[in-house]
A = this chain, B = another copy of it.
Amino acid sequence: MTYRTIRTSILLIALATWPLLASAGFTLKQMSPETKACVACHKLESAALYEQWGSSKHFRANVGCYECHMADKNEPDAYEHQGQIISTIVSPKDCARCHEHEVQEFNSSHHAKAARILGSLDNVLAEVVEGNRGMKTAAFPHGVSAAAVNGCWQCHGSEVKLLENKRPDPVTWPNTGIGRINPDGTEGSCTACHGRHEFSAAQARTPDTCGKCHMGPDHPQIEIYNESKHGIAYHANVDKMNLNNEKWIVGEDYSAAPTCATCHMSATKTQPVTHDVGMRISWNNRPEISVRPEISDAKLGLPGKDVTWQKRREGMTDVCINCHNKNFVESFYVQYDSLIDLYHNKFAKPGLSLYEAAGPLLRPAKFSNKIDFTWYEIWHHEGRRARHGASMMGPDYTHWHGTYEVAKHFYSEYIPELQDLVDHNSNSTDPAKKAAAEKLSKKLDEVLSNSDHSWYNNKLDPAEQALRDQQRKEFQQRYSK
């Protein structure tokens, strides 16, 4: 019996007994000889990595390097390394050998599908507008955009391609994007949140983990959280958060503050933890016009298509209720929904129809017109900030980073740019342009004469003016009290 045969036999036995071990709490009786072999070198070569693993639960359960990185030689990314068949990437399928339930939940989530944007509109930005095909590697002979590689794909996930030696191509690796498309066909990357090589639940419960991707001009969730009372309470009470506890039920194991996980994923007394992050949200604020989450789940063919927003809102309310009474929560939702309505009715819907009307007057390549960026930022950046700000009670993001910017750009950039298009084309010799200019002009008049916008042409409704004059008087009285 060669060493190799012994190793294979051990592996087969290990795999055969896996279900048994798993049901015994994912622990192995002792460290495998393969892992011992890995450790012998790597504790010297990658000392900090070894220590991280040494402080993980995996270590205590004798789940080591080999248990996660082992591969069947027929797997596409399997290669021999120091006599063992392993793969670089540990995919959700690998994690599911022990964490089946979590992976299943994750697979039902938008998170798992995050790399499917490859080829979408935002992708045109990173590939064509910002990028070129200058990054050429073995797996990408036509080249790919370094802006996509270093930007988009690091959060959304790359579609991993392999080199001849079965190592991942540098275009697609390093990558821990949450929707990574792995060589084994699975989607996702557990280490996006459970950072290597401690894989700590505690860290995944900290808001910063989510902030890796949920930050910045177009989705500043972490900034909003940090502004909110939730974030303030968290930072002031992080020592009381019991983040390392196995069981982490709000109102039982901690009470001082909620993190992102608390509200969107973690257990309450009546709800189990879930790895499908969309299950408690009642709006998907990604598109120009917010949609209910069951609609966007249906688009991706996810099982969430059958879970109504009302049902999800009940789930979230069940979290809120640990610190707030029902009346408070219901009133909060009245406020939040109203902000969505305002954004939709005053800006998103008319803005979108104006943009469509402007289409025939624009240079054909998307983003080769200034107004393409103007409209894009109104909905994709500023409009989202307002909606996300309201959803998590961060008033400065709702207003100063949100509706203020939306309104500023709507009136001081978008409307004048549209008017310019009308002016430059209303006498066009091209009858199609002339007609489009007329149509756009009519649409503009229609929008600006609506009561939401009539102030702009100084045509406030007299009843409204009277109401406002009265408020102003009240203000002056208050101020001079």
Contact = CB atoms under 8 A, between A and B. Distances in A.
25 contacts: A45-B321, A46-B324, A48-B251, A49-B322, A119-B476, A126-B399, A126-B404, A132-B452, A134-B341, A146-B335, A146-B342, A147-B339, A150-B395, A151-B403, A152-B395, A170-B335, A174-B328, A174-B331, A206-B235, A208-B235, A363-B458, A365-B457, A367-B407, A367-B412, A370-B412
Interface residues of A, number: 152
A95 B137 CA distance: 50
A131 to B, nearest CB: 6
Given A195-B233, A301-B481, A411-B368, A118 B458 contact: no
A292 interface: no
A471 B155 contact: no
B236 A132 contact: no
A260 interface: no
A162 to B, nearest CB: 12
Nearest to A239: B239
Nearest to A149: B335
Nearest to A192: B229
Interface stretch (A8-16, A99-107, A209-217, A436-444): A209-217
Contacts of A345: 132, 134
Nearest to A116: B478
Nearest to A218: B400
Interface core residue of A51, A117, A127 (most chain B CB under 10 Å): A51
Interface in A293-318: 299-301
Nearest to A393: B154
Given A251-B48, A399-B150, A467-B142, A412 B341 contact: no
